[in-house]
Each structure stands twice: as C-alpha cells, then as structure tokens.
Amino acid sequence: MRAHRDRDTDREAAALQRQALRRPARDSRDARMLGLQESAGNEAVTESLRRSGHPGAQHGATVQRAPKRGHEESTGNEINPEAVSMIAQPLGHEDTYKGGKGRKLPKDQKEAACWEWAVRAASEGSGISHGDCWEYLTSMGEPATLGQIAPAVRQDLDQLRNDITAAGMAFDPFKIDEKHDEGAILPLMHRAVQGFVRSNGLEVAEGNPAGWIVCNYKMTGKLAVPDHFWIELPDPNTGKRVVLQTVPDIDYIEAGGQDLRWHEKDSVKERQSEHEVHQKIEVPVAALKGRHTQIINGILETGRRTRAKAGPA
C-alpha cells in the first residue's frame, strides 16, 4: 500500500540486510516471482529488497523476536461489543493518514508492520513471519522459524508447498515471466493466508467468528505476497464491520469504518487506487490475541476518562 514514506527506506533495508546474512543472496529478479516489483504502493520496500537481495519478506519483514508469554496464544471471544461500537461511531474520530479518519489506538511496537498487528497485536510473539512464510511456500528457502509452528499446521503448509510446486507456481529462475490464470492462483492464496494466520497461533472459526484477519494482493498472474494485512470486527449495531490496521511509519493503530480499507472502490479517495486489480482474502478467526483484546477494550476506559475530564453536561 502507499503508506510508506521515503524516510522508512533505510530502516527497512537495514532489517532486510540483517536477514540476508543468514540466507544466500539471490538475484533481485527473484522478487518478481512473488509479485514484489509489481505490487502497488510498496515502492520503498521493493527498493529495499532490490538492494538487500532478499526476495521474500515485503514491507515489515523484521528480525524474529523471542516468544513472550501471554501474547502468542489466542484468547476467548472477550472483545466488548461496546468498544467496537465506539470505533464505528464518527464521534471521536480524527484525521489519521492518507485521507483517513478514525480513532488512534496504542501500538506496542511503534514500527511494527501491518501483518505484525494483524496476527501478533504488534507485540512480541512466536510463529513464522510474513516474508518467511511466502518464501517457504514458493520453495525459496526453509526459515528456522518453521520449528515454532504446531505440527498440524506445518503439515498443512508442507502439503500446500507441494501443491504450489505441482501447479508450476514455485520459484523458478528460468520462468520469471511465466503467468498463470488468476482462478488457479486464488485457491492457493486462500490456503496460504489461512496457513499463515494459523502458524501465528490463531484458530480459524467454523462459525460466528470473533473477527477476520484480512489481506489483499495485486493480481499479476503469479502467486503473490499480500500487500497489506488488517483486522475487521463486526459492529453489533449495524452489521457492518470496523477496520483496525497499521503500517510501519505510523505509531498507532488506525481504527474506523470500512472506508479505511485499501484498494477498494468504496474506500476514501486516497486509498482507491488499483482497486480493480486487487483481490481481497479474509480468514474468520475464533478469537484474537490477548493483547488485541486489551488494546481494543481499552477504548472504553479512555472514553470514561474523557467524559470525567469534561464533567457533567
């Protein structure tokens, strides 16, 4: 997405270079296989990848952090519906970024990427990273973090990797320009996103989800790395959804209505670009992480303090 600014380029390049120390350098053309060079709105990250020679992780690929107890596991469905209602209400919204208006929620790791918020609450946690996951699925490497994944999830990822290879969509330096039918790509992308969500400790919901982990990717005829990840929650009053998301160059979680989505025709004007060539995927989850719940429910306490400061009407 087009939320990255030039000042983040050096920081991202440095992070990616640190990762490159533990992987063989590859030709920058490798990134094209994952759709990195054609992904809209990731120019700064793509340039970082070119310089580092690391084709896997896209905006927000970070050095793996050690697990922190209490943050890596899912919790019960404890998000207060009143907190979601407050996010949906225009009252309390302020200007955010790129034409958006919403609430600004606290963000533990100020430079955390979109996917880190979506599956880890922008806090410390275990599991496979965004870039490492797609690098593994396209047979570009086997990251050490695979050992942190539950055996059943690892088995599913292994099978998906085999299916991607059988479909001719794994990395092949001799077939960089080969394209595939988007109808064949979409089911594999659904499985990839679901596997990524599960690999970070979230449980896929069979019915009545607590929320959705959502992403989009640019359709280029290749198995793509998603451009952006975010969370959506059901508004108990309207049946619509609220959006909670972040990017590395803002120090808060943006929370508001569906017009905050990226690359959709009904988004705010500044975020509508290339909506016709972007595909959205959503994974229903039984619960979010404990830290997600704390941050979201914290809106209610903030509201009480604000009303108390204002005094009686």
Q: For the segment 93-133, what is each residue's pLDDT rounded down to a tens digit?
A: 999 999 999 999 999 999 999 999 999 999 877 789 999 99
% of the chain at pLDDT higher than 70: 72
Task: Summarize the confidence of residues 187-203 as an average pLDDT.
Answer: 97
Q: What is the DSSP letter of 239?
A: S
CA distances from 177 to 125, 171, 183, 221 (A): 36, 11, 18, 9
Q: What is the DSSP letter of 221?
A: S
Q: Which helix (H) or strand (E) holds 288?
A: none
| CA dist., res. 281 & res. 199, Å (int) | 17
pTM of structure: 0.76
Q: How many CB atoms lie within 10 A of CB 208?
A: 9
In the numeric block, which tokens belong to residue 246? 């972040």
Burial grade of 19 (CB within 10 A; 0-12, 13-18, 19 or more): buried
Q: Which candidate, 290, 246, 282, places its Cα nearest to that of 74?
A: 290
Burial grade of 227 (CB within 10 A; 0-12, 13-18, 19 or more): buried
**Range with top average pLDDT, 12-26, 44-58, 124-138:** 124-138
- 188 within 8 A of 134, measured Cβ to Cβ: no
Question: Which pLDDT band holds residue 301 (cuts at 50, 70, 90)?
Answer: confident
Q: Chain-wide mean pLDDT for the chain?
A: 80
In the numeric block, which tokens belong to residue 98? 């790129």
pLDDT at 152: 97
